[in-house]
Amino acid sequence: MTAVIIGVWSMIFMGALMRGISDEMVRNGIATLTGHIQVHLKGYRNDPVIENRISHPRALETALNKHLPAGSKWTCRVRVNAIASNARHAGGVTLVGIEPNREAGISFIGEAITQGRYLKADDKYGIIVGKALADKFETKLGHKVVLMSQDTSREIASRAFRIVGIFRAEMEATEKQFVFAVMPVAQQMLKMGKAVSEVSIILPSHKKADRVAVALRSSLPSAYEVLAWRELLPLVTGVLEMYDGFIFLWFLVVFIAMGFGIVNTTLMAVFERIREFGLLKALGMKPLWIIKGVLIESLFILVLGMAIGNSMGFLSVFALSGHGIDLSSLAAGLEFVGMTRVIYPVLQGQDVVMANSVVFVLGCLVSLYPAAKAARFTPVEAMAHT
């Protein structure tokens, strides 16, 4: 029964951890300026330069209003590579021009400010930088940062900003990479007029992304590229697929170990009671009844083991649901694959049903062997067994 308990517990617990990791990766990836769907001018993904901009973003509104389900949100952004510098340091960043009010409900930035304030619509010189960048540049709130990039006429454009807010992100790389300014200011600096780099969309559920993306694709001119989050985050998608494979392998390993445990336990129980089975057969018990008896005993072990394993699994998940598992010390490594610093296990009904079904169905199947073994002995063989 220990094998069943450990098997069910580990399947539920590991499943919840994996689910937690993948959910956080998806949530984090989507929140980090990706969204569920993005619309760009064709070619922007391969070459995200200012030339590949959407000149008339408001022209997309009709299609967006028509195809986005109720509860969806969307915003436009300017996103260009830039050089940030202050008196002491200089480095490459991505300037993101945002519509502060709309952006707040779409990406992480609305809730990520830890010092100072969020951008206002009329912040002509305000900029938000990440904590890691501020540390790297040895700067702080109220200090100046100069951004330099290429404008639409391929001339160098630069503008001085004052830091109004510092944000924290799940990943240090995000804090170092992105700086946020108000979109009209970025457009003015880059001489873009009303043009934008991308439209980012958040749907009520990420599961609808592919379907909505197809609908948008069909209704927008071919000059636009509509991509769902799976295409926008290929690394995350790849890691999720790897996790699926890992969970499958884990289930397989657990099942093989548990299967041997069940067969071994049941077989031992059968051999210990072989004289008893011989006697029962001698008294008139049919082989099928003996198979039934052994299977019922295995069933009892399975059900009891599953009940205890489930309880342990739920308790383990519950115990970690508050503070999660803090992997901050491995943060640099985790960021590489898009994992968050703290893992919160997520228990889903389908995972629990899956784990229990695997254990139950395969457990019953492997119990057939000892049951058949018990039924095959002739009464004389069995009763002569010592």
User: Cα(129)–Cα(165) distance, rounded to whole angstroms?
Assistant: 7
Q: What is the CA radius of gyration of the chain?
A: 30
Structure tokens at 357: 């079904």
Of 58-66, 146-154, 283-291, 315-323, the segment contacting other proteins by CB under 8 A is 283-291
What lies within 8 Å, CB to CB, of 311 at 6+ separation is none
Is 288 among the residues that bind other proteins (CB under 8 A)? yes
User: Cα(111)–Cα(339) distance, rounded to whole angstroms?
Assistant: 19
Indicate the residue type of 269.
A
Choosing from 285, 299, 312, 331, the residue that interacts with other proteins (CB under 8 A) is 285
Is 159 among the residues that bind other proteins (CB under 8 A)? no
Is 380 among the residues that bind other proteins (CB under 8 A)? yes
Is 286 among the residues that bind other proteins (CB under 8 A)? yes
Give the shortest CB-371-to-other proteins separation in angstroms: 15
The interface with other proteins within residues 223-282 (CB under 8 A) comprises 275-276, 279, 281-282
User: Cα(304)–Cα(267) distance, rounded to whole angstroms?
Assistant: 18
Sign of CA dihedral 266, 269, 274, 277: negative
The separation between CA 362 and the C-alpha centre of its own chain, rounded to angstroms, equals 29
Is 372 among the residues that bind other proteins (CB under 8 A)? no
Is 218 among the residues that bind other proteins (CB under 8 A)? no
Give the shortest CB-19-to-other proteins separation in angstroms: 46
Helix axes 349-376, 287-321, angle to 10 degrees: 150
Beta-carbon-side half-sphere exposure of residue 31 (alpha carbons within 13 Å): 19
Give the shortest CB-278-to-other proteins separation in angstroms: 9
Nearer of residues 231 and 276 to other proteins, judged by Cβ: 276
Nearer of residues 267 and 279 to other proteins, judged by Cβ: 279
Residue 8's φ and ψ, nearest 5 degrees, are -65, -45
What lies within 8 Å, CB to CB, of 64 at 6+ separation is 74, 199, 201, 216
Structure tokens at 257: 């170990």
Sign of CA dihedral 336, 342, 348, 350: positive
Give the shortest CB-286-to-other proteins separation in angstroms: 4
Specify whether the CB–CB gap between 136 and 176 falls below 8 A. yes
Structure tokens at 264: 């071994």
Of 48-56, 197-205, 238-246, 286-294, the segment contacting other proteins by CB under 8 A is 286-294
Give the shortest CB-271-to-other proteins separation in angstroms: 17
Choosing from 48, 116, 287, 293, the residue that interacts with other proteins (CB under 8 A) is 287
Ordered DSSP codes for 251-311: HHHHHHHHHHHHHHHHHHHHHHTHHHHHHHHHTT--HHHHHHHHHHHHHHHHHHHHHHHHH
Nearer of residues 136 and 275 to other proteins, judged by Cβ: 275
User: Cα(307)–Cα(5) distance, rounded to whole angstroms?
Assistant: 8
Structure tokens at 234: 């290929």
Is 383 among the residues that bind other proteins (CB under 8 A)? yes
Q: What share of the chain is helix, strand, coil (3-state, %, to 5)?
A: 55, 20, 25
Give the shortest CB-289-to-other proteins separation in angstroms: 8
Choosing from 71, 234, 284, 322, the residue that interacts with other proteins (CB under 8 A) is 284
Give the shortest CB-283-to-other proteins separation in angstroms: 6
Is 378 among the residues that bind other proteins (CB under 8 A)? yes
Is 283 among the residues that bind other proteins (CB under 8 A)? yes
Is 379 among the residues that bind other proteins (CB under 8 A)? yes
Helix (H, G, I), strand (E, B) or coil at 111: helix
Give the shortest CB-279-to-other proteins separation in angstroms: 5
Q: How many residues bind other proteins, per CB under 8 A?
A: 16
Nearer of residues 303 and 383 to other proteins, judged by Cβ: 383
- List the x/- string, 41-80, binding to other proteins by CB under 8 A: ----------------------------------------
What is the binding site for other proteins (CB under 8 A)?
Answer: 275-276, 279, 281-289, 378-380, 383
